[in-house]
Amino acid sequence: MHVSASERGLVRLFAVDLPSDEVEAFREAVTDEDGEIIDWPLGKALGTTDLDEDFVELFNVNDLEGLGLPGYMVQGLGISEHDVMEDVRRLSAQRGWILVVLSSAFGRSEQTLAPHRPLRWLGTYKEEGARVRYEPLPDAGAKGAPLAPPTPEPQRNPYKTVLLAILALPAAALVLGLLFLWGTTP
């Protein structure tokens, strides 16, 4: 079972064929003083050493009262109802412990899984993307209404422009006169 480094949105589902009294030992990772995992039966059963337990779920199907495994997959994991319905009989028949492994559990590292007992692969499903919903416009007047014409830029006051020109002309004449005098004097 290949996991690519770019994998996103996949959910791997496994049955865990263990009695309930052995599940806790299967679930718990043994760490050293530095917090490094030295033994993790769940990781070994998946055939991987690089696994983020924050994206792994292990639960008993009996805990899904009223919802069932197919309902949990659709409502809890975001898998398309169509995809789940293809396997609904097989999924509904599952009893005991279930392991859910999300793509994020692999930390974007490419690896090959080699799951073995007590795990039994049930399927790999794709999370459904967020559906786009188009809400009606809140105001009936906004439907089909033409766009308002753009607001015109404010008009410049022509009197200010003339006033600036009148004041600038004597100043320019003064500067030119000084340059002329400076250039003609020895």
pLDDT tens per residue across span 110-152: 999 999 999 999 999 999 864 545 556 555 555 565 666 777 7
Q: Whole-number mean pLDDT of the chain? A: 84
| Domain limits, the chain | 2-126
Query: Mean pLDDT across the stretch 38-53?
Result: 87
Q: Write down the pLDDT at residue 185.
A: 65
- Those residues whose C-beta lies under 8 Å from the C-beta of residue 52, and which sit 6 or more positions away, are 104, 105, 106, 107
Query: Buried b vs exposed e over 46-73: b needs ≥16 C-beta within 10 Å?
Result: bebeebeeeebbbeebeebeeeebbbbb
Q: Report residue 51's pLDDT band, with 50, 70 and 90 as the boundaries.
A: confident
pTM of the model: 0.66
User: Using an 8 Å Cβ cutoff, are 79 and 5 in contact?
Assistant: no
